[in-house]
Chains A and B, each alone.
Chain A
Amino acid sequence: MMTFAPLLLVFLPLVAAAVSFALPERLSSWRNAANLGVAFTKLLVVAYLLNATEAGLVFEWRYEFLPDNDLVLRLDKLALLFVTLSVFLWLMTTIYAIAYFDRGPNLSRFFGFFNLCVLAATGVAMSGTAITFFLFYELLTLATWPLVAHKGDDKSLRAGRIYLSYTLAGSVAFLAGILWLQSLVGAIEFAAPPDLTGIPALTLTLIFILCIGGLGVKAAIFPLHGWLPEAMAAPAPVSALLHAVAVVKAGAFGIVRMIYDVYGIGTVADLGLGLPLAALASVTILYGSVRALMQTDLKKRLAYSTVSQVSYIILGASLIGPYAVIGGLVHLVHQGIMKITLFMCAGALANRMGIKAIADLDGAGRLMPVTMAAFSVGALGMIGLPPVAGFISKWYLGIGALQSDAAWVVAVLAGSSLLNAAYFLPLLYRAWLLPPPADRPAIRELATTRDRMLILPAAVTALVSLGAGIFASLPFSPLAWVTLIAEGGYLR
């Protein structure tokens, strides 16, 4: 079990993918059962692993894939943070996707690639070497493309094309950066950071820029974010997964690994690379918020909000201080839970009532109260109101900024929170306080099993984001786990 636990986490979604690809469309209930069964099994495995890892065990699997270059899957605490997030949100999204698509076309293909996508995200999380990370990072790109292009109309194909041109160009830069560094220090293991002494600062800086630039494409750092709003052409479950856990988080997670497990905070500080990155993240935060404010389409507004929110993680990582790291890492989880809530709600609104534009939201709260309640929790969390989880992130980031003598970051956080409020509160106002248009037929929100499967996952994630805020001080809360990570070596 010690060696094979990480392999099991990769193997299980592979089984689900194979079953999904193999089953014809008419056996959709078998396919759904397989997907849910595997998702639940994986959650159980993760629960076991959380316990074992907290007790100090480290699971590792290793395979020499090229001479001197090992594929390493390693479950340290940081890996498990991301794994747990993706496994939990995957289960929710699977339930949601089954209800959302019902009996649409090409679903075998969809669920196949959907599972490959989660396989890749889990692999990214568990990667123990830079080359393993790259392998899964690319697999993620490839597995996501058919999901983005799923509908096959011109808009989706265009979105797929834009997505690929951004991400493939990014990964090429990343690969060049890794190989350049490897040519100087040998294979890069995250558990044993390479010795960078004696390498010219200019070389190290260039490599850093290549790697962060490559990873920054997926993390949607300004000005590399262009693909993300376009990818909104994808179906709602894909958007939810893309924005919450799979793609953007893989980029942000990679940046955290680069700063803390490859370069090490000492080198990053010596090279003076933290501050420019923090500044870029701040620009992205404000830019994303402003662009979000300008959107009239609900999903587009949420997309630009993601551009802004993911950079909180990068901001926290680049400030290089204990509280800032905690704030950044915990936002990796909090943003995921809150953003998936928002996207699942947006998808449910579009699916049940055809609401796509913000102007159509009037009175939605009266017709779909559960959906809008979940949406409201997510939105308030994004603004950073206590007791929702988002507050914890911003609180730690703020204190961390002060610790790192970067008081200007507090101004960025405050400005961004105001902008968040400016683009979320009008939605809530419209939904709850304005009457629905006269021609909108009344619906029963939770009439059928399918309706409940469509709406309850969002309700669950909304409750979890409340819980993550209220019970932040309990063990196994995201905050407690991230503090454990920070104590285990991130405070060097």
Chain B
Amino acid sequence: MNLLGLLVAVPLGFMVAALLLRGSGRWLILAAAPVMAGLALWLALLPPGTTLLVGNWDLPLGILLRADGVARLMVLAGALVIGAIGLHALVDPPGGKDGGAATAETFWPLLYLMWAGANAGFLTTDLFNLYVTLEMVSLAAVALAAMGSLAAALRYFMIAMLGSLAYLLGVALLVANYNTVDVTLLAQVARLDLATVMALGLMTAALLIKAALFPMHGWLPPAHAAAPAPASALLSAIAVKLGFVILLRLWFEAFPAITGSAALHVLGGLGAAAVIYGSIQAMRQDRLKPLVAYSTVAQVGYLFLAFPLVAGAVEPSSAWAGMTLHGVAHMLAKAAMFLAAGLMLKAAAGDRIADLGGLAQAMPLTVTAFGLAAVSLMGLPPSGGFTAKFLLLSAAIEQGAFLYAGVLVVGGLLAAVYLFRALSACFAPLAGAGPDTASRGPVTGGVKAVAPLALAGLAIVMGFAGTALVDVSAIEVPWATPTVIQPEVAP
């Protein structure tokens, strides 16, 4: 088994071990985090063209794992994010206020399950295999959401099931039509017929649900807001990204010849609407975690807003890099923000934004982590969020797509409005307890702030590594293969 297989097998092994060890299984993360980070880093540095045929069967019977630029970046960012979330969960166990051992025991196997599923999903090119990974991640996500609110998790479960069925139906249609479900093979034989269009439509709808693109986002805010902080971080950073990556495989690798300009602009338009709608909803929240959850709805919008920009570019690699880096930057920044928000809410008087007063004094490191993550989410420099926005905005302006450019610009401002509202509240004096403010002192030791601070710091450092990251994202891009994306003219 080579490295690509290990990236899937090792988390599964840890999952089994965590199930067997029960209560003390939490310590496994001390081994898992560095091992997985090492493997992911190795993956990122592999020479281009590395693949693995699972079971040594040739396509279309075997399953192809392949390390293209998107997979490398997503797996690496995923390893850093999940590792940091896991380490954070050691010092700040996800049991809620009751801190029940039962919830803690379920958390760890779910974390490893999601890890394995996400890695497999980022690496594989087989649409049926992708269905399996989608199910692994959805299962873990629903169970993680159930740690916070059973009602929200049930809702999530129903809609995730609906999505999975639609996706499976699409895969079945493709099998009947082409006798293969491998993305790279489909790209060579794809033709425009009713079955293909239906399959693509079904699968796209399913994946948009999983990725929570507006207007299919309804399940996300309650589920993400109610879950304990480490679970919310996993849901927002990892779970929604898988749907996005599979959509990339479908639209840009398997069927670039079929996905016409109009369809791309529908996705782009939905993305733009998501940015605006998610931001406005985030501005209207008066509790912290729903605010952060709606910010995810907005940020997912940018990923799809980028679709027509990639397809419309004469030289798509910079828009492609912008889209990929946005996904990576959002992973890092949103995970950091959820972890920080969890710590802040434990220290605050209540879960409203107005209750955050005095926290800038009481927990400066955590508020700093929140602030740095906010900088990246707003797309302000220097940060990964800015690098991504810079690339996307350049592409939009170059193509004369001023509507998308406008949304990119306005979305950043709206993000500043709602994120600075939360930050500003931290600077206010402690609500309703004037003289006590000074005597309060730091409420958390530095240790708990390490994980969110490290993740937010990475999101900022990304802003200085733009050139290297753009190079990685360009490894084995779809248009470098025989199938070429037809340049479309933007509106």
Closest partner residue, chain B, to A108 (CB atom): B364
Q: Judge if A164 is at the interface, Cβ distance under 8 Å.
A: yes
Please provide the chain A residues from 101 to 150 with a CB less than 8 Å away from any CB of chain B in the complex.
Answer: 105-106, 109, 131, 134-135, 138-139, 141-142, 145-146, 149
Could you say which residues of chain A place their CB within 8 Å of the CB of B398?
183
CB of A168 within 8 A of CB of B416, answer: yes
Q: Name which of B128-136, B256-264, B422-430 contacts chain A.
A: B422-430
CB of A106 within 8 A of CB of B361, answer: yes
- Nearest-Cβ distance from residue B446 to partner chain A, whole angstroms: 11
A180 CA to B402 CA, complexed, in Å: 11
Q: Judge if A464 is at the interface, Cβ distance under 8 Å.
A: no
- Nearest-Cβ distance from residue A18 to partner chain B, whole angstroms: 12
User: With A66-B387, A179-B393, A180-B397 given, is the CB distance from A138 to B380 under 8 Å?
Assistant: yes
CB of B405 within 8 A of CB of A176, answer: yes
B contact patch SS: helix
- Nearest-Cβ distance from residue A477 to partner chain B, whole angstroms: 36
Q: Judge if B413 is at the interface, Cβ distance under 8 Å.
A: yes
A: contact size bracket: 35 or more
Could you say which residues of chain A place their CB within 8 Å of the CB of B416?
164, 168
CB of A179 within 8 A of CB of B382, answer: no
Please provide the chain B residues from 401 to 444 with a CB less than 8 Å away from any CB of chain A in the complex.
Answer: 405, 409, 412-413, 416-417, 420, 424, 427-429, 438
Q: Which of B360, B380, B409, B466 contacts A66 (CB 8 A)?
A: B466
Q: Identify the interface centre among B318, B381, B391, B466: most chain A CB within 10 Å of its CB.
A: B381
Could you say which residues of chain B place their CB within 8 Å of the CB of A109?
360, 364
Q: Judge if B36 is at the interface, Cβ distance under 8 Å.
A: no
Q: Judge if B470 is at the interface, Cβ distance under 8 Å.
A: yes
Q: Name which of A33-41, A153-161, A429-437 contacts chain B.
A: A153-161
CB of B424 within 8 A of CB of A138, answer: no
A351-387 CB contact bits vs B (8 Å, 1 = yes)? Answer: 0000000000000000000000000000000000000
- Nearest-Cβ distance from residue A363 to partner chain B, whole angstroms: 36
Q: Which of B409, B428, B463 contacts A175 (CB 8 A)?
A: B409
Could you say which residues of chain A place their CB within 8 Å of the CB of B412?
168, 172
Q: Judge if B127 is at the interface, Cβ distance under 8 Å.
A: no
CB of A152 within 8 A of CB of B318, answer: no
Q: Judge if B145 is at the interface, Cβ distance under 8 Å.
A: no
User: With A66-B390, A152-B429, A176-B393 given, is the CB distance from A139 to B381 under 8 Å?
Assistant: yes
CB of A182 within 8 A of CB of B413, answer: no
CB of A160 within 8 A of CB of B424, answer: yes
A182 CA to B318 CA, complexed, in Å: 14
- Nearest-Cβ distance from residue B418 to partner chain A, whole angstroms: 12
A389-425 CB contact bits vs B (8 Å, 1 = yes)? Answer: 0000000000000000000000000000000000000
Q: Which of A106, A142, A172 contacts B409 (CB 8 A)?
A: A172
Q: Judge if B300 is at the interface, Cβ distance under 8 Å.
A: no
Q: Judge if B394 is at the interface, Cβ distance under 8 Å.
A: yes
CB of B390 within 8 A of CB of A149, answer: no
CB of B318 within 8 A of CB of A67, answer: yes
Closest partner residue, chain A, to B357 (CB atom): A152
User: With A176-B393, A183-B394 given, is the CB distance from A142 to B429 under 8 Å?
Assistant: no
Q: Judge if B50 is at the interface, Cβ distance under 8 Å.
A: no
A168 CA to B418 CA, complexed, in Å: 13
CB of A66 within 8 A of CB of B470, answer: yes
Q: Judge if B375 is at the interface, Cβ distance under 8 Å.
A: yes
CB of B467 within 8 A of CB of A135, answer: no
Q: Which of A141, A149, A183 contacts B424 (CB 8 A)?
A: A149
A165 CA to B382 CA, complexed, in Å: 19
A contact patch SS: helix
Q: Judge if A11 is at the interface, Cβ distance under 8 Å.
A: no
Closest partner residue, chain B, to A131 (CB atom): B390
Please provide the chain A residues from 24 to 80 with a CB less than 8 Å away from any CB of chain B in the complex.
Answer: 63-67, 69
A160 CA to B375 CA, complexed, in Å: 16
CB of B467 within 8 A of CB of A65, answer: yes
Q: Judge if B464 is at the interface, Cβ distance under 8 Å.
A: yes
Could you say which residues of chain A place their CB within 8 Å of the CB of B397?
176, 179-180, 183
Could you say which residues of chain A place their CB within 8 Å of the CB of B428?
152, 154, 157
Could you say which residues of chain B place their CB within 8 Å of the CB of A443?
none
CB of A105 within 8 A of CB of B466, answer: no
Could you say which residues of chain B place their CB within 8 Å of the CB of A142?
375, 380
CB of B438 within 8 A of CB of A105, answer: yes
Please provide the chain A residues from 173 to 202 with a CB less than 8 Å away from any CB of chain B in the complex.
Answer: 175-176, 179-180, 182-183
A149 CA to B424 CA, complexed, in Å: 8
- Nearest-Cβ distance from residue B323 to partner chain A, whole angstroms: 15
Q: Judge if A442 is at the interface, Cβ distance under 8 Å.
A: no
A169 CA to B393 CA, complexed, in Å: 16
A176 CA to B394 CA, complexed, in Å: 9
CB of A182 within 8 A of CB of B382, answer: no
Q: Identify the interface centre among A65, A66, A134: most chain B CB within 10 Å of its CB.
A: A66
Could you say which residues of chain A place their CB within 8 Å of the CB of B467?
64-67
User: With A138-B380, A139-B382 given, is the CB distance from A164 to B420 under 8 Å?
Assistant: yes
CB of A153 within 8 A of CB of B409, answer: no
CB of A153 within 8 A of CB of B429, answer: yes
CB of B381 within 8 A of CB of A134, answer: yes
Q: Which of A67, A149, A172 contacts B427 (CB 8 A)?
A: A149
Q: Which of A160, A165, A179 contacts B394 (CB 8 A)?
A: A179
Could you say which residues of chain A place their CB within 8 Å of the CB of B417?
165
Closest partner residue, chain B, to A105 (CB atom): B438
Could you say which residues of chain B place their CB within 8 Å of the CB of A145?
420
Could you say which residues of chain A place their CB within 8 Å of the CB of B375?
142
CB of A176 within 8 A of CB of B409, answer: yes
A134 CA to B382 CA, complexed, in Å: 10
Q: Which of B393, B427, B429 contacts A146 (CB 8 A)?
A: B427
A141 CA to B417 CA, complexed, in Å: 14
CB of B390 within 8 A of CB of A179, answer: yes
User: With A176-B405, A180-B397, A182-B394 given, is the CB distance from A152 to B427 under 8 Å?
Assistant: yes
A220 CA to B412 CA, complexed, in Å: 23
B19-34 CB contact bits vs A (8 Å, 1 = yes)? Answer: 0000000000000000
Please provide the chain B residues from 355 to 406 with a CB less than 8 Å away from any CB of chain A in the complex.
Answer: 360-361, 364, 375, 380-382, 387, 390-391, 393-394, 397-398, 405
Q: Which of A141, A165, A175 contacts B393 (CB 8 A)?
A: A175
Could you say which residues of chain B place their CB within 8 Å of the CB of A157?
424, 427-428
- Nearest-Cβ distance from residue A144 to partner chain B, whole angstroms: 13
A172 CA to B417 CA, complexed, in Å: 14
Closest partner residue, chain A, to B390 (CB atom): A66
Q: Which of A153, A154, A169 contacts B413 (CB 8 A)?
A: A169
Q: Identify the interface centre among B318, B387, B394: most chain A CB within 10 Å of its CB.
A: B394
CB of A66 within 8 A of CB of B361, answer: no
A69 CA to B318 CA, complexed, in Å: 12
Could you say which residues of chain B place their CB within 8 Å of the CB of A154?
428
A149 CA to B371 CA, complexed, in Å: 14
Q: Identify the interface centre among A146, A153, A179: most chain B CB within 10 Å of its CB.
A: A179
A141 CA to B360 CA, complexed, in Å: 19
Closest partner residue, chain A, to B426 (CB atom): A152
A138 CA to B390 CA, complexed, in Å: 14
- Nearest-Cβ distance from residue A435 to partner chain B, whole angstroms: 39
Closest partner residue, chain B, to A181 (CB atom): B397
Please provide the chain B residues from 431 to 488 with a CB less than 8 Å away from any CB of chain A in the complex.
Answer: 438, 463-464, 466-467, 470
User: With A105-B361, A146-B427 given, is the CB distance from A161 to B420 under 8 Å?
Assistant: yes
The 3 closest A-B pairs by CB, nearest first: A66-B466, A135-B381, A183-B398
Can you list 17 contacts pairing A with B, beta carbon distance less than 8 Å?
A105-B438, A106-B361, A109-B360, A131-B390, A134-B381, A139-B381, A141-B380, A145-B420, A146-B427, A149-B427, A152-B429, A157-B427, A164-B416, A175-B409, A179-B393, A179-B394, A179-B397
Could you list 6 further interchain pairs (A-B, Cβ under 8 angstroms) beyond the known A67-B466, A172-B413? Answer: A66-B391, A66-B466, A66-B467, A67-B470, A168-B413, A176-B397
